[in-house]
Amino acid sequence: MNAGANVTVRGEWPGLVTLRSGWWKAVGRPLNDDSPEAVLRAERSTVDFVRRCADTLFELGVSGVHSPPLMRGMDRTFRAAGFATPADREAAVSIDATAFVGDWRVGRLGLEDALTATPDSTMLSLDDGSGFAIVGVSTEIGYLQRIAVEPDAQGTGRGRLLLRASMAWARRRGARTMMLNTQLDNERATQMYRSESFTVLPTRLTIHRYTS
């Protein structure tokens, strides 16, 4: 059978399937006999091919895609393709606490909420662990839910790398525009967004608070 994004699938899911696109090859299988999730093993691959294989497995009905066990440094293809580890999520909690102050901190549950706020979402992490972004897509709109870089690494271009990676991820999933919210008095952030062709909307977001 032929799946989307020029990836050819041989085999029937749920079961062992071989995914190919030209020279590139990967193998997918169920995580276990009871799980709706999959393991993707890339034999000959690029970052783009791994992404397309993951998307193809989602089209086949899986609810999540895992990499095989990989040593740090050997997992760059999967990490660049948008795969995140539990350690990445733990690091994101710590980074979020140091990168923001006051009510702009969202904590662990806020980050989990950001990851589930749209039908399709992912967490992208920098290779050196100094920053992360959470991006999602819904009805052709990309949402940059969260982006944070450790204070000592700010101003080094890492935020821009995360922003561009988030925009590319959303574009591949059909987004034609992207939205985000930030503090207008955060000059470094607003300058970066403006330089990447973001504009300020005339209507601003407001937060309401209820007390007894």
Q: Spell out the domains of the chain, with CATH numbers in brackets.
A: 8-80 (no CATH), 86-195 (3.40.630.30)
The 10s digit of each residue's pLDDT in 45-92 is 998 899 899 989 999 999 889 999 888 777 888 887 878 777 788 899
CA 62, 63, 64, 68 torsion-angle sign? negative
Residue type at 43 in one-letter notation: E
The 10s digit of each residue's pLDDT in 168-206 is 989 988 899 999 998 888 888 999 999 999 999 988 887
The 10s digit of each residue's pLDDT in 15-45 is 999 999 999 999 999 999 999 999 999 999 9
Q: Nearest-5° angle of CA 58, CA 126, CA 156?
A: 145
The 10s digit of each residue's pLDDT in 114-152 is 988 998 888 888 888 899 999 999 989 999 999 999 999
Q: Which of 125, 30, 137, 37 is nearest to 84 (CA)?
A: 125
